[in-house]
Copies of this chain bind each other. A is one copy, B any other.
Amino acid sequence: MTQDNSGLVLRGFLPYRLHNAAEKVSLAFAAVYKRQEGLSRPEWRVLAILAQLARATATEIGAQANMHKTKVSRAVFALEERRWLARSADDADRRVEWLQLTRTGRSQFAKLSQSARQFENELVAALGDKATRHLLSALTRIEEVRLAEQSHPHSRAR
């Protein structure tokens, strides 16, 4: 019944280490698109998601990126000002606005994609092929896992 070893050792705590690693990588990459185009994180996210989907609503983007809807709203506004994306109305449902990248937006994303790939390549090179494969398969597992009591702050819990 000793209490001695009941203190968690943080250095080995998986969520802690995962968080630190992700933050390190995210910050380094954020520096890339910030320096290159002055994009904020939410703006980059919306841009990237929208580039995948070609056409989406703000709600869809929020769901994919796990971003609060007001954050999406603002990022969309910012990208619209740059003329990187445009809105259009839905014929059937007048509540929804379809978003899609403009020609400019697509070409800017393509340009950033170059840097992104370069960044990723450097990372992969540093990790090594084997570690990278293992990491990717572990990430896939995590994506699939159903964690207890998620209680998401961003998206309404249904």
Give A contacts to B, CB under 8 Å.
Answer: 3, 6-11, 13-29, 31-32, 35, 48-49, 51-52, 66, 106-107, 109-110, 112-114, 116-117, 119-120, 122-124, 126-128, 131-132, 134-139, 141-143, 145-153
Contact = CB atoms under 8 A, between A and B. Distances in A.
Number of this chain's copies in the assembly equals 2
Contact of A7 (B17, B113, B120): B113
A15 B127 CA distance: 13
Contact of A49 (B10, B122, B124, B150): B10
Contact of A18 (B31, B107, B122, B139): B139
A22 B24 contact: no
Task: Choose among A20, A51, A109, A128 the residue with the greatest number of B CB atoms under 10 Å from its CB.
Answer: A20
